Structure 1
Amino acid sequence: MAISLVVNGEAHALDVPPTRRLLSVLRDDLALLGAKHGCGEGACGACAVLLDGKPVVSCLLPVGAAEGRTVTTIEGLDEAAAALQEAFVAEDALQCGFCTPGQIVSASALIASDPTPTREAIRVAMAGNICRCGAYPKIERAILRASGQAVG
């Protein structure tokens, strides 16, 4: 079945089963490797992408649910994500880096909807992203920094 969607600004018509997971299509068919397969249960956020600007876990989402919609992966984020990436580096908010693409995707959606989020808003928005290295305070500071707020 042909599934039509826009990924990172590029239209795609894919002949894939609509029940196939979006993460598999992104990685295997479109060679977009930023979203990772972590838990496979939607609990870790390593597979986070934006669907029409909202963060979703692509490991659970059937590609058919993305029919006619816009998907943005870490590879397709704009210059706002560059500020997040710089803030993550400046705050040492990454260690192994496995979760970082999902963290940045989720954080970019947060800042897009709330340009100056509170610490509590950051915690709520990032609750679906697990960092096994335990860099949570640094991730929070990086998001504050990227949104132009005092990190202290």
Structure 2
Amino acid sequence: MEINMWINGKEFHGEVAPDTLLIDFVRSKGNFSVKRGCETSNCGLCTVPLEGKPVLSCSTLVARADGKHVITLEGIQKEAVQIGGFIADEGAEQCGFCSPGLIMNMYAMKNELNSPNDEEIRNYLSGNLCRCTGYMGHMRAIRSYLESAEEVNHEDRK
């Protein structure tokens, strides 16, 4: 089947097998920040925003992304470093296994949710597995990051 999509703003098209997973297509285009973890849709490591909504690329067929936009860490490097700083500042960065998926979810959350409460944040992150922390540092980092983003948006509107 023929596929046409944008990864980090760059258009890609080509022939793919109908059972090709999004993770395989994205990685074949040089976006190696998208990692394989559990391959059972349980860890969140392979998370990428598809049209702004986070999806688990290890269980999403590339056909679902046909004609759509995908973002990886390579496409948001400056913001990913900033988000990583919030995670580190709150002591939530330990082994780093969960960081790529968590960063992508935080990025998508900033663009999708408006002043979320803790329950909304937890629901949004339900697919992210971290075995090192109790998620409290992550929650503090997310709240700080979202508050910072809201302040920037507020200043931009003035």
Are 2:4 and 2:11, in contact at CA under 8 Å, matched by a contact in 1? yes
Equivalenced residues, count: 148
Within-5 A mapping of 1:78-117: 80-117=79-116
Deviation at 1:17, TM superposition (A): 1.1
After superposition, the Cα gap between the structure-2 partners of 1:89 and 1:105, relative to the gap in structure 1 and judged at 3 Å, is same
Within-5 A mapping of 1:1-152: 1-27=1-27, 29-77=28-76, 80-148=79-147
- Could you tell which deviates more after superposition, 89-98 or 139-148? 89-98
After superposition, the Cα gap between the structure-2 partners of 1:101 and 1:36, relative to the gap in structure 1 and judged at 3 Å, is same
Structure 1 length-normalised TM: 0.89
Are 1:36 and 1:98, in contact at CA under 8 Å, matched by a contact in 2? no
User: What's the secondary structure of 1:128's corresponding residue?
Assistant: coil
- Could you tell which deviates more after superposition, 5-14 or 133-142? 133-142
Are 2:20 and 2:61, in contact at CA under 8 Å, matched by a contact in 1? yes
Gap regions ≥5 residues in structure 1? none
After superposition, the Cα gap between the structure-2 partners of 1:102 and 1:80, relative to the gap in structure 1 and judged at 3 Å, is same
Are 2:92 and 2:133, in contact at CA under 8 Å, matched by a contact in 1? no
After superposition, the Cα gap between the structure-2 partners of 1:115 and 1:80, relative to the gap in structure 1 and judged at 3 Å, is farther
d(CA) in 1 for partners of 2:114, 2:79: 11
Higher helix residue share: 2
Q: What is the RMSD of the two structures over their aligned residues, measured on CA atoms?
A: 1.7
After superposition, the Cα gap between the structure-2 partners of 1:87 and 1:77, relative to the gap in structure 1 and judged at 3 Å, is same
Q: State the match for 2:155 in structure 1.
A: none
d(CA) in 1 for partners of 2:98, 2:67: 28
Structure 2 length-normalised TM: 0.86
User: What's the secondary structure of 2:49's corresponding residue?
Assistant: strand
